Structure 1
Amino acid sequence: MSTPDSPPAAPWRNLYGRRLGKTLRASQQTYLAEDLTRLSPGPVDREANPERRPLDLDRLFGGREVWLEIGFGGGEHLVHQAAANPQAGIIGAEAFINGVAMLLGKIRAAGVENLAVHPDDVRDLFDVLPEASISKAFLLYPDPWPKARHHRRRFVTPDYLVPLARVMRPGAELRVATDIPDYVRQTLEQVPQHGFRLLAERPEDWLTPWDDWISTRYERKALREGRVPQYLTFRRV
Structure 2
Amino acid sequence: MSDENHPSGAPWRNFYGRFKGKGLRDSQQRYLDEDLARFSPGAVSWEENPNRDNPDLTQIFGDRDVWLEIGFGGGEHMVHQASQNPDVGFIGCEPYINGVAMLLGKIREAGCDNIRIHPGDARDMFDVLPEASISKAFLLYPDPWPKKRHHRRRFVTPEHLEPLHRVLKPGAIFRVATDIPDYVRQTLEEVPKAGFEWLAERPADWRQPWDDWISTRYEQKALREDRTPHYLTFRRK
Asked if Structure 1 and Structure 2 have the same fold, meaning a TM-score greater than 0.5 normalized by the shorter chain, the answer is yes
1:126 matched to 2:133? The reply is: no
Partner deviation per Cα, 1:102-132 (whole Å, 9 max, x = no partner): 0000000000000000000100100000000
Q: What is the aligned partner in structure 2 of residue 202 from structure 1? A: 202
Q: Give the Cα–Cα distance (whole angstroms) in 2 for the partners of residues 31 and 15 of structure 1.
A: 25
CA contact (8 A) 1:82 1:115 kept: yes
CA contact (8 A) 2:45 2:127 kept: no
Q: What is the aligned partner in structure 2 of residue 97 from structure 1? A: 97
Partner deviation per Cα, 1:142-163 (whole Å, 9 max, x = no partner): 0000000000000000000000
- The alpha carbon displacement at 1:205 in A equals 2.2
User: Following superposition, which runs of at least 4 residues in structure 1 exceed 6 angstroms of deviation?
Assistant: none
Q: How does 1:50-61 map to 2 (within 5 A)?
A: 50-61=50-61
Q: What is the aligned partner in structure 2 of residue 219 from structure 1? A: 219
Aligned partner of 1:104: which letter?
L
Structure 1 unaligned runs (5+)? 1-8
Any idea what SS the aligned residue of 2:145 has? coil
1:44 matched to 2:44? The reply is: yes
Q: What is the aligned partner in structure 1 of residue 5 from structure 2? A: none
Aligned partner of 2:102: which letter?
M
The number of aligned residues is 229
- The alpha carbon displacement at 1:47 in A equals 2.4
Q: How does 1:171-210 map to 2 (within 5 A)?
A: 171-210=171-210
- The alpha carbon displacement at 1:44 in A equals 1.0
Deviates more, 1:196-205 or 1:114-123: 196-205
- The alpha carbon displacement at 1:45 in A equals 1.9
- The alpha carbon displacement at 1:202 in A equals 3.1
Partner deviation per Cα, 1:23-61 (whole Å, 9 max, x = no partner): 000110011111111000011122221111111100011
TM-score if structure 1 supplies the norm length? Answer: 0.95
1:21 matched to 2:21? The reply is: yes
Q: What is the aligned partner in structure 1 of residue 148 from structure 2? A: 148
1:35 matched to 2:32? The reply is: no
Q: What is the aligned partner in structure 2 of residue 6 from structure 1? A: none
- The alpha carbon displacement at 1:101 in A equals 0.4
Aligned partner of 1:164: which letter?
L
RMSD between aligned residues = 0.9
Q: What is the aligned partner in structure 2 of residue 235 from structure 1? A: 235
Q: Give the Cα–Cα distance (whole angstroms) in 2 for the partners of residues 47 and 193 of structure 1.
A: 32
Identical positions, percent: 72
Any idea what SS the aligned residue of 2:231 has? strand
Partner deviation per Cα, 1:132-180 (whole Å, 9 max, x = no partner): 0000000000000000000000000000000000000000000000000
TM-score if structure 2 supplies the norm length? Answer: 0.95
- The alpha carbon displacement at 1:10 in A equals 3.5
1:82 matched to 2:82? The reply is: yes
Q: Give the Cα–Cα distance (whole angstroms) in 2 for the partners of residues 43 and 72 of structure 1.
A: 19
